[in-house]
Structure 1
Amino acid sequence: MFNLIEIAAVATLGRSLMTDKSDEERRLAVEAAIARLAPEVSRFRPVSQFLYPYALEVANLYSDLSVHDRQCVSTNLKSGTRKKLLSACGWLAEEAMNYRDWRRVQIAFVLNVIEGFKLDDRESIRYMALMRHAARHIGVGLLEVVEFAMTLASGESKRQLENFVNRDDSQNKLESFEVGVEKVEGRWRFVPAGR
């Protein structure tokens, strides 16, 4: 298990953390990292201080897996864990706007790929709209933050990401999903539209 200092020290996604481990050890490490992340995600604020480092750990470990093992991890997720991964995407998008950190959006897209669009593809697309908004808010292009997740996606995940990126941009706006954004006590957050 990695401590928070080691996790935070990883500056970019895709940097191997487990080069000396077997495929099974890597897959089990991802599953354990997801298990650590899940309790940090809640429907309620405040967002846990561990959300970002744990999500970063999950994304990094997942990127070390083979295509087959990535598919195994995604396939074996329980519905409650899938919901937690999608919720984490929304929180990371908010935090990206608050910290002006594009990596949080990039990690959110990876979590979306891990969820695999299996719970409800409409919800996954709604969360991607939040991530798109966050990227635009901090001045980063959608392709810049989706690119890494695309390298990890396969099958349905890859198809859904490509569809989202290639859709008419008006379909990806927050208003299309009845979501707004407001600043509360100096922090950006997503809220139901018209609130």
Structure 2
Amino acid sequence: MTRFAITAHLAEKAGFDGVEIHAAHGYLLSQFLSPLVKKRTNQWGESLRNRARLLLDIVRAIRIAVSPAFAVAVKLNSADFQRGGFDADDARQVIEMLERLGVDLVELSGGSYESPATTGRPTDNRAQAREAYFLGLAKDLVNTSPGPSCSPAASTAASPQSASSTTVWRSSAGEPPSPSPPTSPGAGGTTARPTARWNR
């Protein structure tokens, strides 16, 4: 928890507007949330509140380490897509817990390496199912959860009311300026890129 808080503090000091805590896709925090993985019977397991304890404690630690204007987001699975795993009802409850801690944004994702949900290969081959990975879950969670949320751009493009904002990840990795084009010539013949800022 301390390392998360220190990293967030250093990010703010370096001039970043916010950080995102990755609690999806089967990584460590996602494993703590999953009833399939987290088999402990102590304060870290069994109930959803206990399984979410590490994530919530990390958020609290970060909030103490940064200023109120610094944005804190969480990437959260809308579901693990594994039988008996973290599901949409769990996600809804965790979002409510995060809202009470002042999290600014929850990015909805899903799946893990054991059960990938974003491979773009649905069984029925429909374009919307192929590209709008979490559209149905995003709509449901946005309608029933109090805080801001976002989903992958393809999901929101298919249905703009399904989230309060969108994320573009893999295309940005391949082409960092995407989706915004260059704005104006910069110093030394380079091109100035638009700066992404989180509006609070």
TM over 0.5: same fold? no
Q: Which has the higher strand share?
A: 2
Structure with larger Rg: 2
Q: Which has the higher helix share?
A: 1
